Amino acid sequence: MRKSLFTIPVLILLTLPILSLSKQVCNKDDEKVLFKIKKSLGNPYHLASWDKTLDCCQWYNVDCDLNTSRIIALTIFRANLSGQIPNAVGDLPFLEKLVLRKLTKFD
């Protein structure tokens, strides 16, 4: 019993560095652009996970490069949005893929 009580804290200490390495830190310029995009779309519920309390690389429908933590893909679909593609999309310099589909009122 005593040996197993020692093993658990040791395992936790050994896994902490691995967990911290896997955590991405969103580029702050990219995060600002995403908030501009969200605002220009009328702050839709579909983008509710786009919140300052979370790292933007963890946001729903946002993909970041594992090495640079820059946004490389953005997907918005099945949202009741109206308007046009926000100009701010062009301010994501590393964006490789933009998917806009099944948007009912989008021009």
- Going from the C-alpha of 101 to that of each of 22, 33, 60, 77, 83, the distances in angstroms are 30, 20, 15, 5, 14
pLDDT at 50: 94
Residue 73, CB-side half-sphere exposure with 13 Å CA sphere:
10
Give the domain extent around 94: 24-106
- Give the predicted TM-score (pTM) of the model: 0.72
Q: Evaluate whether residue 98 is within a structural domain.
A: yes
Does 69 score more than 50 pLDDT? yes
Structure tokens at 58: 């963890």
Number of separate domains in the chain: 1
CATH no. for residue 39?
A: 3.80.10.10
pLDDT at 53: 93
Position 19 confidence tier, pLDDT thresholds 50, 70, 90: very low
Q: Evaluate whether residue 4 is within a structural domain.
A: no
Q: What mean pLDDT comes out for the span 12-35?
A: 70
